[in-house]
Structure 1
């Protein structure tokens, strides 16, 4: 079931709520520059296992409204908080991929983990996002040839083979975003850091990361594990930046096991 949640005047976020009657709730926050649809292969399986799965498109991405402003960790975390309050969510597992992992970290630190019982960081872009060199390259391409930029992202995202139709589907997910929001988040990933947030995380945290990740190096997952107390790190040996698809069976099973611990 899809719905829109108003987060400020003139800005509505698209929220996909699957199996609202599920016994346990999982909230998914997608990565840059994608949408909740990246978790299709979780939504195919987890609701049938009894979980309520909620996918949120950030402002500027997917089916959400695309304002010109609000692309920083505080505002994006505030948006999540409003969705949580509007849907009256509590005792949920928060799953964030890549930049979505960074937003999840800021949400937990900024709101003292409001409503979150467990945190899952998937190839998280933290404590730093892009290096200045990578960010400036993405920024230039976004503002001058965004389809070329998205094709390069797609080509570097996965370690395992992906079919041409899958590549095209994934490519189109990124182009759903607005150009200005795509660029603004690159700047955020370049300029904002999350080191001060990590000691504030107290909920049980599962960190999963592909060891072949070319977007966010595996070493960053090791740093997160070192700095987040009550965390565990599980390497994914056959994945790049897209373990939610590349090793989807392992990820789905691990996620269910972690939630039920």
Structure 2
């Protein structure tokens, strides 16, 4: 089931709600510059096992509206809070990948972990995002040749081999975003840090990170693990930045075990 939730006047977020009658709810927040569709290989499995899976496209990405403003952690976290409130979600697991993990961290701090019982961070872009050098290069490419930028992101994203058709599919996910929102998030990842948020996370937290990650170094996962109380770090030995696909069976099983 897909529908839109209004998060502010004139801005509607797309929500994919699979198995709404499931016993336990998992909310998925995608990474930059993708959409909820990146979690296809979780949505194939988890709803059939009784879980309600909710994928949210951030503003500016996927099927959501693409306003010119609102690309900061406060607004992005508030958008998630608005969706959670509109759907009257309770006691759910929040799963965030890459920038989605950073948004999830800020949600926990800004909204006191509202209705979140457990947190899962996958290759989270925190406590810092991109280095200034990487961000400026990506920004220049985004503003001048966004398809080239997205192709390079696709090529560095995975450790394991991906087929040409899969690469094309992944590439197209990134191009569904607006150019301006793609650029705005690069600036956010360059300029904002989330160190102060980590101590405010009080729920059990599972940190999953590929040891071959070329987008967000594995050392950042270790830093998260050191600073988030009641957290556990699981290295994925055969993954880059996409363990939800590269080691999807292991990932899905870990997620099930963690949720309980």
TM over 0.5: yes
Task: Give the alignment of 1:1-150 within 5 angstroms.
Answer: 1-150=1-150
**1:37-87, Cα deviation, whole Å (9 max, x unpaired):** 000000000000100000000000000000000000010000000000000
Distance 1:59 1:120 in 2: 21
Distance 1:223 1:164 in 2: 35
Tell me the CA shift for residue 161 of structure 1: 0.2
Secondary structure of 2:27's counterpart equals strand
| Structure 2 segments unaligned to the other structure (5+ residues) | none
Distance 1:23 1:9 in 2: 33
Corresponding residue of 1:213? 213
Q: Give the total of aligned pairs.
A: 260
Distance 2:26 2:234 in 1: 19
Task: Give the alignment of 1:187-202 within 5 angstroms.
Answer: 187-202=187-202
Tell me the CA shift for residue 168 of structure 1: 0.1
Distance 1:83 1:127 in 2: 25
Please identify runs of 4+ aligned residues in structure 1 that moved more than 2 A. none
Corresponding residue of 2:256? 256
Distance 1:202 1:57 in 2: 26
| Structure 1 segments unaligned to the other structure (5+ residues) | none
TM superposition score normalised by structure 2: 1.00
Distance 1:135 1:67 in 2: 22
Distance 1:95 1:137 in 2: 29
